[in-house]
A and B are shown apart, each in its own frame.
Chain A
C-alpha cells in the first residue's frame, strides 16, 4: 500500500492510533532519543540518528524474568511475562530497521525468547528514509543497506518536503495505515518519481567505504593473533558505549536481585551486558581469557563481521555509525576494518 500524507496530517494519523503507545524521536538533554508521544503534541521528524536504538523496545536494558519470595518457608515464583500495549515507533532510520531482523534471528534461532517476542509481536516500526546521511560516520550502503532500506520496517516514509510518501510493507504496517484512514491521500502523478529521486540523491552521497565486504571475515580470521588489535585499542577506555548504543548488540547478564533477605523476596533480572567490560568473560576461577582491551576490541569486531557472518550469513552491523560517533576516544570500526583488511 502506498499513500501520500501531508505534513500537517501526520498528527491526525498519530491521534487515530490512540489504542497504541506511540513513540517518536524527541530532542531533549541535547540528544535525540525516542520518547513517548503524548496526545495532542507535535512530532518533529527532523532528527538525526537517535542515541538509543529501537532494540530497546524489544530488548529493554532491564527485563524481570520472574519474582520470587518465601511464603511459609516455601519458595514461590511469580511469572512476569510482559504484555505490552501495541506499540508504534515513528522515525526509525533504515539502519535501525535493518537491525531488527538480525535481532529476531538471535532471539529465535535456537530458542524462542518469550520476553523478546511478547514485545516484538506488538511492535510496529514506521521508518523514515534519510534524505541524506546525517553523519559523516554513516555507512549503511557499505554493509548492504541503503538510506531507504525497507528491511525490518513495517512502513517506510519518505520526506518530500510538504508531504510524505508512505509505503506499507508488512501486514502490521498496512493495518496501521488503514487506521489513519482519511489522513492519507492517493499517490498522484509525479509522487512516485519524486520519491525515487529523493532516494537516488540520498544514495549518491558519499559514505565511508568498506572495500571488499566478502573478504573481511577471512582478513579478521587471519589477524586473530596480530598485535594490531592491541595497537588499535590503545586508547580504548573499555566503557560500553559502542555496544550499548548499537542496534544489534544483544549480550546480556542474568542476576538475582534480592530485595529482602529476610522474606527471600527478589527478582531474577536480565540486564544488558557488554563485551567491553572487564568482567564479561571473567571465569569464576579468576581467569579472564579476554583480560586486555585489544582482545575485547577484536571480539566486538569479530562478532559483527566474522562469527555472525559464519552463523547467520550476514553482518551484524548495519552501518548506523553510532559506535564511531559516540566513542569518547575516537575508535572507529570502519578504520579498524580497513587496517585489518590491509594487514
Chain B
C-alpha cells in the first residue's frame, strides 16, 4: 500500500529545496467524496496531499495549462513542476514529451504505483448506488472498496473489481515507467480483464447495431466539451469547435463572416455531435493513453472511452504502438517503418 506520508515528505522536500515551483497533487475536496486536484507551492501545504482510490484526475492536464500560461506570461517562471502521477498519467506526460510539448527537465514525476488496485469509476459506483452520493470512499484491503453512502449510517464493502475503472482492470502497466521516484510496489500487467475487451465486443456487433448505440449517445451529448477540456492531449490553441480566432477587421465582408468555416455547428444534435466526437477521436489516434478522463467527466455518462480504445487497439495491432510507453520512440503519426502495413492504402 502506498504510504501517503512518503509522498507528502517528498513533495515538501522538493519545495523546500526549491527544486520545483509547485507540486500538483490531490487533496480532500469540499464538494464530494472524491479527491480534487491541488497545486501546492509551499512546504506547509504538503501535509494536505492525499492518495486513495478517489484520486481520479489526470493531473498532466495542469502541466499543459501551466505551459500555456508561462508561454503567455511577460516574466515566465520556467522552474520545473512536480506532479503526482499514476501509471496512466505518466504515459500522458510521455506523449507530451514525444511530441516535444515540453522537456523532461520541466517536470519532476512523483510516481505512485496502483499496485493491486486502481481508481474507482464514479459511473459504476453511481449505478450501484442508483444515483445516490457516496460520502466516503476508501481502500479496503487489496480487493475491496469501502463506501459510505450519504444519509446512511453504515459503510458497505464492494469488491474492487465491481467498481474499479475499466482502464484499471485492463491496465498493462500499473507502475509509472516514466518517473523520478515511485511510491508503492512495482506492478506491471494485471489480469483482471483482457485489454480492449469492450472494443472487441463492440466490433462483433453489426454496423447498424453500432450506429444505433452511438446515435443514442450522440443524441444525449450536451456539448459541454468537458471531455475535450479535461484531456491533456487536447492542447490545440484553438479547437475546431470554438471560433476564438476569427478576427473581424474593417475590411471583413458580410460574405466572409457568413462563410467562415464552421466545422461543427453549435447545435447539440446527433449529426453535429457525431462530427465533434469523431473529430476528437481521430485527433487522438495513437496519442490517447487511456486515462479515461473524458469518460469520467461526462455528466451524462457517454462511454467515450470506447471510441478511443478502438483506435488504441488499431494502433497496437497494426503498428505495435502503445502511446506514451516509450518516450524515445517517435510518435505514431510522425514515424514510418518499412514493415508498417499499408493494406488500407488503395
Binding site for B on A (CB under 8 A): 27, 29-33, 46-48, 51-52, 61-62, 132-137, 234-235, 237-241, 244-245, 253, 255-257, 269, 271-274, 277-279, 282, 284-286, 288, 324-332, 334-335
Is there contact, CB below 8 Å, between B132 and A48?
Answer: yes
A292 (CB) vs chain B CBs: closest residue: B69
Q: Which residue of A lies closest to B259 (CB)?
A: A261
Answer whether residue B268 sits at the interface, using C-beta atoms and an 8 A cutoff: yes
The answer to whether A328 and B265 touch across the interface, beta carbons within 8 angstroms, is no
Among A132, A274, A329, which residue has the most Cβ atoms of chain B within 10 A?
A329
A-B contact count (CB 8 A): 141
- Let me know if A51 and B244 touch, CB within 8 A: no
Q: A237-B230, A244-B224, A330-B34 are in contact. Are A325 and B133 (CB under 8 A)?
A: yes
Nearest A residue to B225 via CB reads A239
User: Are A239 and B226 touching (Cβ within 8 A)?
Assistant: yes
CB-defined contacts of A234 to chain B, threshold 8 Å: 39
Q: How large is the interface on B (under 10, 10 to 19, 20 to 34, 35 or more residues)?
A: 35 or more
How distant is B39 from chain A, measured CB to nearest CB, in Å? 6
Q: Which residues of A contact B133 (CB under 8 A)?
A: 48, 134-137, 325
The SS class assigned to the B binding surface is loop
Query: In the assembled complex, how far is the CB of residue A201 from the closest CB belonging to chain B, in whole angstroms?
Result: 12
- In the complex, what distance in Å separates the CA atom of A47 from the CA atom of B133? 12
Asked if B155 is at the interface (CB within 8 A of a chain A CB), the reply is no
Please judge, given known A-B contacts A62-B269, A245-B299, whether A284 and B243 are in contact too, CB under 8 Å: no
Interface set of B (CB-CB < 8 Å, partner A): 29-32, 34-39, 57, 61-62, 123-124, 126-127, 130-133, 135, 150-151, 220, 222-226, 229-230, 242-245, 247-248, 258, 265-269, 293, 296-297, 299-302
Residues of A within 8 A of B243 (CB): 279, 282
CB distance from B160 to the nearest CB of A (A): 18
- Structural contact, A285 and B130, CB atoms closer than 8 A: no
A30 and B301 contact, CB distance less than 8 A = yes
Query: Cα distance A282–B224 when bound, in Å?
Result: 18
Is there contact, CB below 8 Å, between A30 and B123?
Answer: yes
Bound-state CA distance A331–B32 (Å) is 10
CB–CB A285/B248 < 8 A: yes
Chain B contacts of A32 at CB under 8 A? 131
List residues of chain B with CB within 8 A of the CB of A29: 220, 300-302
Q: Which residue of the partner chain, among A46, A284, A327, contacts B31 with CB atoms under 8 Å?
A: A327
